[in-house]
Amino acid sequence: MKRINNLRVASFQGIAAPAEVFEKLPVNDAAGACVAGARENIENILSGKDKRKIIIVGPCSIHNYEQAIEYAKKLNELRKKVEDKLVIIMRTYLEKPRTTVGWKGFLYDPHLDGSYDLIEGVMTSRKLLLEINEMGLPTATEVLGPVVIQYYSDLICWSAIGARTAESQTHRELASGLSMPVGFKNGTAGNLDIAINAILAAQEKHHFLGMDDAGRVAVVETKGNQYCHLILRGGSKGPNYDEVSVKNAIEACKKADVNSRLIVDCSHANSEKNYKNQGNVFRNVWGQIKSGNDNIAGLMIESNLFEGSQKISQSMQHGVSVTDSCISFEETERLIMEAYL
């Protein structure tokens, strides 16, 4: 009989089950307390019980372990200064969505050389998240792979579903079972309905095929996630962080009977893909908060040790993004302290 299966698969490579990885890199008391406490803080802000605001800030993507830790240490010192008014969460984005092709992120290609050492990527990513949470600094990520997230979801305090995947039923079902609050970004065209429908779906119970911690294919039954919310990131028609757009988004959420507290992304289409505009967006939105808009739960900033971006090469600048351009930590600290004061 002529072969009919796996015709375009080059190989299969075994990998440890999540439970085996957990055993090698277990959550200690400090990291566990950070995750549990941060999730509770975020949930309370999203439900209106806590009047503080969320600031999700950090590299567009993690590409170097040591530089990520260097950034985390700086951000953690800043977190301590403002924690009575702001809940700071570090962007620890380990996967990157691609419009076509390109580097898929630290977890998939930790050596940045196309070797796709996923086994090393999974272990190193988990180790990084452990070290950051042990500091007391909460972590955030974007969920892309529905299987790979199981290797480190216990160390994530907040997660996003991106504009490209918010319409995916797989990701909506996955979000319904995740243990942390989940933000859905509006569509790349700026469409709010995609994200609002995603929130409605993720709030419900679901059944789907997935993988358990032992690495076995299993029927997953979820309880529904009541802490899903909207992220405004602008679209192809322009930004949507202005006062009118934010109010329209809040009204759309209320009309659909989903959480009307939302987060504004200062980057992407809201910055018109110019990282230098992030500060203007941040100040505009913070002005709306100061004017009494309690439905803005927080903001997101793409920030690194140093500003700008660079291509992956043999000789790269220290602390500069290899994906989207970021503002510097110096500017980040200035913006956050302006908001705090």
Distance, in Å, from the CA atom of 297 to the CA atom of 264, rounded to the nearest integer, reads: 8
| Mean pLDDT of all residues in 13-20 | 96
Q: Cα angle at 79 between 76 and 84, to 5 degrees?
A: 155
Backbone angles phi, psi at 214, to 5 degrees: -85, 0
**Residue 294: how many other CB atoms lie within 10 Å:** 12
**What pLDDT, on the 0 to 100 scale, is given for residue 100?**
81
Task: Give 185's strand partners.
Answer: 231
Asked if 53 contacts 298 with a C-beta cutoff of 8 angstroms, the reply is: yes
As given in the structure block, the two tokens for residue 48 are 């209106």
Which ranges of the chain would DSSP assign to H, the alpha helix?
18-24, 29-46, 65-82, 118-134, 169-175, 192-202, 243-256, 278-290, 329-340
As given in the structure block, the two tokens for residue 299 are 């903001």
DSSP state of 145: -
- 177 pLDDT band, cuts 50/70/90, is very high
DSSP state of 187: P
Give yes or no for residue 205 having a pLDDT over 80.
yes
Q: Which residues contact 45 (CB under 8 A, 6 or more apart)?
A: 51, 52, 53, 54, 87, 261, 297, 298
Task: Using alpha carbons, select from 141, 138, 179, 191 the residue that is nearest to residue 161.
Answer: 141
Distance, in Å, from the CA atom of 51 to the CA atom of 53, rounded to the nearest integer, reads: 7
**Residue 270: how many other CB atoms lie within 10 Å:** 28
DSSP state of 308: B
Distance, in Å, from the CA atom of 231 to the CA atom of 55, rounded to the nearest integer, reads: 13
Q: Cα angle at 241 between 238 and 242, to 5 degrees?
A: 95
pLDDT in tens, 68-123: 999 999 999 999 999 999 999 999 999 998 878 899 999 999 999 999 999 999 99
| Whether the predicted model's global pTM rises above the 0.95 cut | yes
**What pLDDT, on the 0 to 100 scale, is given for residue 101?**
84
Distance, in Å, from the CA atom of 165 to the CA atom of 173, rounded to the nearest integer, reads: 12
Q: For residue 136, what are the CA distances in angstroms to 80, 105, 132, 152?
A: 9, 24, 7, 17
**What is the phi-psi region of residue 50: left when phi exceeds 0, alpha when psi lies from -120 to 50, beta otherwise?**
beta
Q: Which residues contact 327 (CB under 8 A, 6 or more apart)?
A: 275, 276, 278, 279, 301, 302, 303, 304, 307
Give yes or no for residue 316 having a pLDDT over 80.
yes
Taken in order of first residue, the domains within the chain and their CATH numbers are 18-340 (3.20.20.70)
Give yes or no for residue 190 having a pLDDT over 80.
yes
- Cα dihedral value 186, 187, 190, 193, nearest 10: -70
DSSP state of 314: S
Task: Give 287's strand partners.
Answer: none
- 173 pLDDT band, cuts 50/70/90, is very high
- Give the pairing type, strands 207-211 and 217-221: antiparallel
Give yes or no for residue 228 having a pLDDT over 90.
yes
**What pLDDT, on the 0 to 100 scale, is given for residue 99?**
76
Give yes or no for residue 8 having a pLDDT over 80.
yes
Supply the DSSP string of 213-271, one letter for each residue.
TTS-EEEEE----TTEEEEE--BTTB---SHHHHHHHHHHHHHHTS---EEEESSGGGG
pLDDT in tens, 110-123: 999 999 999 999 99
